[in-house]
Structure 1
Amino acid sequence: MGASGLGSGLGNCINLSNLTLNLDNNQIGDEGASGLGSGLANCINLSNLTLNLYYNYIGAMGASGLGSGLANCINLSNLTLNLYNNQIGGMGASGLGSGLGNCINLSNLTLGLRQYKMQNLPNFDEQSHSQQEVLRQNSSRYLSFQYTENNLYSFKDREKVYKIEKRYQILRLIWRDTNISFCLAAIDREYGQKVFIKVIKLEECILKYIIQAIRSIKIENHFQHENINSNLHIMMESKNLYIVKELMDINLKDVTFSRQELTDEHIKWFVYQILKALNFLHSQNVYHTELTARDILLKENCDLKITGFIHSNFPHEVNYYNKKGYYPPQRILELPENLSKTDIWHVGVIILQLLYGYPFFEKRNRGGRNGVLQAYFYSIGSPSEEDLSQYKDYTEQYEQLKSLNQYCKKSWQDQFPNANPLLCDLLDKMLVFNEDKRFSLKECFLHPYFEDLYIPDDFQQCNLKFDHSQLQIGSNEDEDIDKEEVMKDIYFEVEKSYQKQQLRRYQIQIIQNIAFQKHLAHQIPLNPKLIFYNLYEDL
């Protein structure tokens, strides 16, 4: 509003002939630039004008509005207009040029438009593996965008200074994971959205954690789905990696531990969304393998997203104490496992936690491998001889299973008398020792429990092929891994994110410019925020 007000004031100075305005390094956006242009449109006697508007937030609509205002300054003979380091895009430059085309008396023109171009951006997702490998090898040296102090906002954490793009306004510290990372809540002022920013101090990370981070980044960049907490933006500055995601309100673990009452409608809607996300991942043979209630993030309206992909397709060694009885029996026994059925087991355990309020199997877990298995079999029943026969070649595990106490299967309905009988039936199909008898993902979402929710289009496939070689790094413990090679992957993902950000801005600016041109031509009421947010959702 400041720039618009300035323009309104200048609009009364109709006898101005020489004007220099230095408004660089502010926060002027489209509305301010357009308002400034409207005011200058009344200064019809201007002959010498210098406008320094670099390092602002001016997009296509603002540049076109400024051009439209200058179109009335037909007596201009000298014009210097510096708009570099804005976001005006090709359509903005075109609108600006159209306006200046009316300045028929211009004899000297200087236009500073560098670092705005966003056309012909590479579509990384459609490039071949060899093309991407060439870019990956060179990305550390040829990043498209090098940050300057004018692009960055500084903040402190534990006396150390961190720098992030100015578009982000830091709100608060959410939690500190370890000494190598922490998480912030912020507002992305460019899109008007609350975001979650994870800061990873790469210099202090051991190689194992960097590998886990890049694996998670690659999955969350690739799979864009409403129930997957995909990355919105990745940036890097001074060996600090910043991963930006949508800010969610709470995780499912905290919901269950809060002891608030969950209705059957809550549980059904949560599980339905989890199955949608897993179906999208499984369509490209990507499996979570470590899904717990903590990896389920919720909004106040009960929409959810899954996260935590650091071990996807490569489950790590069993931790009996941290996972609280989430692992399927095959993982506990270190037997071969069908990873798609592993995810189904995890969903079943999450359902139990929603019904019980705490990790269900912990109440009978006496610790260690046998303790976890006994807790499972007390409820689901001990495996039959037929179920065990497929593991006869694994002598140690087979003998261990045979030595355990024998239990008959308990009814879930008896253990949860108030639960929906259809949900109890679904649990019977999900929490099964024999993977061949355990429900598949498709059988789960076609179960009668979801009859009132199920829409075939909800279970869409991911049509963008996922390159599984991206997950191979670090999968072999004996492999000698070069940290610099892993860092090339980090640089490559940062570069991809930057280019996609630029492409998105360019798309937004095209639509905004069309809307603004219609506004100018037909006096259609213009609400820049409404146009912006509708477009953001569409993209």
Structure 2
Amino acid sequence: MSFDEPSRHSYKVSGQDFTIDTRFTITKELGHGAYGLVCAAQYDSGTPAGSTAVAIKKVNNIFNKKLLCKRALRELKLLRHFRGHKNIVCLYDMDIVDPVNFTEVYLYEELLDCDLHQIISSQQNLTDEHYQSFIYQILVGLKYIHSANVLHRDLKPGNLLVNSDCEIKICDFGLARRVSSENGEDGFMTEYVATRWYRAPEIMLSFRGYSAAIDVWSVGCILAELLGGAPFFKGTDYVNQLCIIIGVLGTPSEETIQRISSIRAQEFIRSMNKCDGIAFETLFPHANPLALDLLAGMLKFDPKERISLEDALNHPYLKVWRDPADESVCEHEFDFSFESVDDLESMKQMIKDEVRSFREFVRTPQDGTTS
């Protein structure tokens, strides 16, 4: 059998064809939306080892827009680059059903029990130890991602998968970008659609230059959501989001305001009534004081004042969980050169090449022979 032509069978799921490797059997639908469809499946290895549960994601209509195509390509490449880290979801396989006329890609991934959004929404009785463990694992995964010169840019509870042992896996790299150059360009804001509630102020206000601090802000929002049981900065639109943030954190300093590249945004902030903010101890009266200290470091309006990822890992709140031996770094920076490609046909070919290359990679044993 060639890498491109496994034996397949089809299911009807939510009114659409779901065509997968015959070694897999669909067990249930996990979700669907504009991006496509996700199902749980059992993999039959044909050996005494038995079957394994996986998640299969069908990414639809990737050639309707250049943006969707680029996001799909970015996701494939980054999942491969980060494959094997314990706090990043593992990609097992990829498939294209029709290499000539395809409009979708199938991703075979690690299946986890739920995501952090579902856990928080369920009102489960989580303890402070749960919060510590979750935040530590997210930071460990982020350290690995950032060491490859990559910013995730869309960290939120729904993109943090959780298993029954409370292990966290980061997923969804479609909005990731390289750490920006000094002038803050690199197409950083192109089609920026990350969930508003977890978006750092410097993204909304176009600060001069972006850094790993944008992901640290998102982790702070997640910690606050764990402590309070609901999204912390739940803005209804761009302006309301900014007003809520300033209402909690207080009016930023003039020095910080001057670092905003948009004069209009500067003037808007200066026009607001000045406020001192609200102490986290008031908002979360029953929280561990160390948790609130870490939260205060993560949710600094000015990214230059925000706690670094390394200092967050070293914070006393996470001391009981910390194991520097677990905090690996990526050996190679991620190659973003594909981002410069802008025509659909070239991107389509790149996706085909990526799928074929990955299929060969996962089917080649360590001794160099091909199974």
* Band of TM-score, shorter chain: 0.7 to 0.9
What is aligned with 1:227?
Answer: 87
The residue type equivalent to 1:156 in the other structure is: K
What is aligned with 1:332?
Answer: 204
Q: Distance in 1 between matches of 2:320 and 2:288?
A: 14
Q: Residue 334 of structure 1: CA displacement? A: 2.8
What is aligned with 1:436?
Answer: 304
What is aligned with 2:69?
Answer: 210
What is aligned with 1:341?
Answer: 213
Q: Are the equivalent residues in 1 in contact too, given 2:201–2:242 (CA < 8 A)? A: yes
Q: Distance in 2 between matches of 1:468 and 1:278?
A: 18
Q: Which has the higher helix share?
A: 1
3-state secondary structure, aligned to 2:93: strand
Q: Are residues 217 and 451 of structure 1, via their aligned partners in 2, closer, same or farther at CA, if it must alter by over 3 Å?
A: same
Match of 2:38 among 178, 183, 205: 183
Q: Residue 161 of structure 1: CA displacement? A: 4.3
3-state secondary structure, aligned to 2:195: coil
Q: Residue 205 of structure 1: CA displacement? A: 3.7
Q: Distance in 1 between matches of 2:135 and 2:154?
A: 16
Q: Residue 296 of structure 1: CA displacement? A: 0.7
Q: Distance in 2 between matches of 1:286 and 1:428?
A: 24
Q: Are residues 203 and 447 of structure 1, via their aligned partners in 2, closer, same or farther at CA, if it must alter by over 3 Å?
A: closer
TM-score (norm 2): 0.88
Q: Are residues 217 and 170 of structure 1, via their aligned partners in 2, closer, same or farther at CA, if it must alter by over 3 Å?
A: same
**1:238-265 deviations in Å (ceiling 9; x for gaps):** 2242101111111111111112222110
Q: Are residues 471 and 249 of structure 1, via their aligned partners in 2, closer, same or farther at CA, if it must alter by over 3 Å?
A: farther
Which has the higher mean CA deviation after the structures are superposed, 409-418 or 210-219?
A: 409-418
Match of 2:5 among 133, 147, 151: 147
**1:490-515 deviations in Å (ceiling 9; x for gaps):** 111111222122214978999xxxxx
Match of 1:262 among 123, 126, 130: 126
Which has the higher mean CA deviation after the structures are superposed, 212-221 or 401-410?
A: 401-410
Match of 1:375 among 233, 244, 251: 244
**1:210-259 deviations in Å (ceiling 9; x for gaps):** 21111111101111211111311001112242101111111111111112
Q: Are the equivalent residues in 2 in contact too, given 1:381–1:409 (CA < 8 A)? A: yes
Q: Are the equivalent residues in 1 in contact too, given 2:96–2:105 (CA < 8 A)? A: yes
Q: Are the equivalent residues in 2 in contact too, given 1:333–1:369 (CA < 8 A)? A: no
Q: Are the equivalent residues in 2 in contact too, given 1:426–1:449 (CA < 8 A)? A: yes
Q: Are the equivalent residues in 2 in contact too, given 1:199–1:241 (CA < 8 A)? A: yes
Q: Are the equivalent residues in 1 in contact too, given 2:147–2:333 (CA < 8 A)? A: no
What is aligned with 1:245?
Answer: 109
**1:372-423 deviations in Å (ceiling 9; x for gaps):** 12211121111122322334x6422211111112111322122111111001
The residue type equivalent to 2:55 in the other structure is: F
TM-score (norm 1): 0.61
What is aligned with 2:256?
Answer: 387
What is aligned with 2:54?
Answer: 195
Using the aligned pairs only, state the percent identity: 29
Q: Are the equivalent residues in 2 in contact too, given 1:176–1:183 (CA < 8 A)? A: yes
Match of 2:224 among 342, 347, 352: 352
| Count of residue pairs brought into register by the alignment | 352
Q: Residue 208 of structure 1: CA displacement? A: 2.1
Q: Are residues 508 and 424 of structure 1, via their aligned partners in 2, closer, same or farther at CA, if it must alter by over 3 Å?
A: farther
Q: Are the equivalent residues in 2 in contact too, given 1:256–1:357 (CA < 8 A)? A: yes
Q: Residue 339 of structure 1: CA displacement? A: 3.1
Q: Distance in 1 between matches of 2:24 and 2:310?
A: 41
The residue type equivalent to 2:59 in the other structure is: I
Q: Are the equivalent residues in 1 in contact too, given 2:9–2:19 (CA < 8 A)? A: yes
Match runs of 1:84-99 below 5 Å: none
Q: Are residues 162 and 430 of structure 1, via their aligned partners in 2, closer, same or farther at CA, if it must alter by over 3 Å?
A: closer
Q: Are residues 464 and 267 of structure 1, via their aligned partners in 2, closer, same or farther at CA, if it must alter by over 3 Å?
A: same
**1:69-105 deviations in Å (ceiling 9; x for gaps):** xxxxxxxxxxxxxxxx6xxxxxxxxxxxxxxxxxxxx
Q: Distance in 1 between matches of 2:321 and 2:128?
A: 13
**1:130-188 deviations in Å (ceiling 9; x for gaps):** xxxxxxxxxxxxxx53426xx2223233565443212212111111122x621110012
Q: Distance in 2 between matches of 1:266 and 1:158?
A: 35
Q: Distance in 2 between matches of 1:484 and 1:181?
A: 21
Q: Are the equivalent residues in 2 in contact too, given 1:331–1:337 (CA < 8 A)? A: no
What is aligned with 2:19?
Answer: 163
Q: Are the equivalent residues in 2 in contact too, given 1:284–1:465 (CA < 8 A)? A: yes
What is aligned with 2:319?
Answer: 451
Q: Are the equivalent residues in 2 in contact too, given 1:236–1:494 (CA < 8 A)? A: yes
Q: Are the equivalent residues in 1 in contact too, given 2:135–2:223 (CA < 8 A)? A: yes
Which structure 2 residue ranges, 5 or more long, are not aligned?
178-187
Q: Are residues 201 and 417 of structure 1, via their aligned partners in 2, closer, same or farther at CA, if it must alter by over 3 Å?
A: closer
3-state secondary structure, aligned to 1:361: coil
Q: Residue 336 of structure 1: CA displacement? A: 3.1
What is aligned with 2:293?
Answer: 425
Q: Are residues 501 and 355 of structure 1, via their aligned partners in 2, closer, same or farther at CA, if it must alter by over 3 Å?
A: same
Q: Are residues 229 and 205 of structure 1, via their aligned partners in 2, closer, same or farther at CA, if it must alter by over 3 Å?
A: farther
Structure number with greater Rg is 1
**1:441-498 deviations in Å (ceiling 9; x for gaps):** 111101111111111112111013421213444xxxxxxx322111111111111222
Q: Please, what is the CA RMSD of the aligned residues?
A: 2.4
